[in-house]
Amino acid sequence: MKRVLVVEDNEQNMYLISFILEKHDFEVIQAINGEEGIEKAKIEVPDVIIMDWQLPDIDGIEVTKQLRAIDALKNIPIIFCTSNVLAGDQKKAYAAGATGYIEKPLDPDTFMEEVKKFLK
């Protein structure tokens, strides 16, 4: 069973993302802010990380940079799932170490296809 860390502070988004992933037989690990996301990533070493951009403590860009600095997490796919869709936002995410970028609002019909693209 693949394990996914979801770093998301919005309750509805966390519910929707978790629901879709669990329906497709993924184990979901939840973190509601950046610090918790970093700690859980270190402990759990998930197969993939779904990252929100706007978090209550440190933003997803900074969380991603910190995760990429940890040897055990260097090659784990990090997929941004965000409503930050301004010109240049995708470039910032990829520059920080993101592997993928999914825009909110999520499309439940295509979300899993997007996630599975980044799994080995």
Q: How confident is the model at residue 119 (pLDDT cuts 50, 70, 90)?
A: confident
**Helix 108-116 / helix 11-23 crossing angle, nearest 10 deg:** 70
Q: How confident is the model at residue 64 (pLDDT cuts 50, 70, 90)?
A: very high
Predicted confidence at residue 87, as pLDDT, reads: 78
Predicted confidence at residue 32, as pLDDT, reads: 98
Cβ neighbour number for residue 107 with a 10 Å cutoff: 11
- Indicate which CATH number applies to the domain containing 69: 3.40.50.2300
- pTM for the model stands at 0.95
pLDDT at residue 45 greater than cutoff 80? yes
Report percent pLDDT > 90 for the chain. 86
Total tally of structural domains belonging to the chain: 1
Give the domain range for residue 68: 3-116
Q: What is the pLDDT of residues 67-109, one digit of tens each?
A: 999 999 999 999 999 887 787 899 999 999 999 999 999 998 8
pLDDT at residue 3 greater than cutoff 80? yes
Three-class SS string for 32-43? CCHHHHHHHHHH
In 8-69, alpha helices (H): 11-23, 34-44, 60-68
